[in-house]
Structure 1
Amino acid sequence: MALETLPLVEQPGQAVADFFGTSFPLMLRYSQMLIEQGQLRGLLGPRELPRLWSRHLLNCGAAEKFLPIGKNATVADVGSGAGLPGIVLAIMRPDLQFYLIEPLGRRAEWLEEVKEELDLQNVEVLRSRSQDLPADQQFSAVTSRAVANLNKLVRISGKLVAPGGIMLAIKGERAPEELANAREALVQAKLEAAHIEQVSSLMDDSVTRIIMATKRA
């Protein structure tokens, strides 16, 4: 995409740089890749790019503090698409091993390109649907964003959460309604203590809502 045709994107201030800390330089490089190729490759709509930081990168980064701690911890990102939140969280947490699950070939190819460009040694791209992965393949945490309503999400990916592990689903304003409608599916998937965490944005008055649940040990 020619420089003169690139969309105008909000600029992250010092508060955003401080939030991402040592991962900020890599986050800038990732944001540039999205700006240059996101719309062309059908990863983000033209209305989304101007709000890339507030609506997407910070929205995804809000889930980082809820990820597990431990050198053997693994994270599966279901329906990674453009890498939101999988790539964002992998940049922020180089101590964790991330598996980006994406069934569409062109999106899986994009994720491989991002992995190589940013030299993300802690990322593996799995071209698959989550429900098609081996039954014994489980992870310390399973993340998702804009994949499906919670009821369906739990049914197709709840099995990926290891006993004692957590599910983190980044949701919008309908999070309370989705949680209420998914109670039965959560019970069947042995996901307990389901609740909503809210994280305020650093750039506007928006709030990130994350539905969290723990797999029965």
Structure 2
Amino acid sequence: MKHRSVEEIAREVFGDRFPLAERYRELLATEGTTRGLIGPREADRLWERHILNSAVVQELIPPDAAVVDIGSGAGLPGIPLALARPDLSVTLVEPLARRTVFLEAVAAELEPSIRVVRGRAEAPDVRKKAGNCDVVVSRAVAPLAKLSGWSLPLLRAGGEMLAMKGSSAAEEIERDRAEITRIGGRDLSILSCGSGLLDPPTIVVRAVRGARGVSAPKK
């Protein structure tokens, strides 16, 4: 982020909705920290390590998409995506009650159109409520094969899994490619988001749900 402040970059990413993003940052730094959703040492770097890191994934999401964020935790990446892209229909899936209480309060204040579903992504009731979506996003949730087993069944045929990963992305694809293909994922690729804005950019593993559906993942 040389030569530009974090706030300048955030204003570019969020546009006229920057005040909402700034309020989300405040909520993470206060309520999010108090509730144990964000580590206390993260408060000073919420923009670059969490909010902007999540929001730039919008580059990969088509207009008016139905997006499901699984294992949403403190709302990352789903809430930054909803704030940056009001055209998206965003559902946050989170199993823990204390987290869903926080997510519901944040959504009510900042973006009431965000839907919060309590449960695990693999649960039948969650698949019924959040399934057949266009995009499933996630951030630091699980190893890639397990994550694909949760994400792919929520997608319509041709929908995309976008999993935020770090430097291990290529290694995970190599290790898990056969299993991901078996359960219906195809066209695996590694993409970067936010180049020119973030240093380092956000790394995303992308997979497409095949038209033949998704079989149950191995136990």
Same fold (TM > 0.5): yes
Where does 1:14-93 land on structure 2 (aligned, <5 Å)? Answer: 14-70=8-64, 73-93=65-85
Deviation of 1:106 (Å): 0.3
- Consecutive aligned runs of 4 or more in structure 1 exceeding 6 Å deviation: none
Structure 2 SS opposite 1:62: helix
8 Å CA contact retained: 2:77, 2:138: yes
Structure 2 unaligned residues grouped into runs of 5+: 212-219
Q: Does 1:129 align with 2:123?
A: no
Partner of 1:161: 155
8 Å CA contact retained: 1:15, 1:202: no
Matched residues, number: 204
More helix by share: 2
Identity in percent = 41
Question: Could you tell which deviates more after superposition, 139-148 or 198-207?
Answer: 198-207
8 Å CA contact retained: 1:68, 1:141: no
Aligned counterparts of 2:112 and 2:42: Cα–Cα separation in 1: 28
Structure 2 SS opposite 1:214: strand
CA RMSD of aligned residues (A): 1.7
Deviation of 1:127 (Å): 0.3
Deviation of 1:200 (Å): 4.6
Aligned counterparts of 2:196 and 2:38: Cα–Cα separation in 1: 22
Partner of 1:5: none
* Amino acid in structure 2 at the alignment position of 1:123: I
Structure 1 SS opposite 2:135: strand
Structure 1 unaligned residues grouped into runs of 5+: 1-10
Deviation of 1:16 (Å): 2.6
8 Å CA contact retained: 1:138, 1:161: yes
Partner of 1:178: 172
8 Å CA contact retained: 2:145, 2:176: yes
8 Å CA contact retained: 1:155, 1:185: no
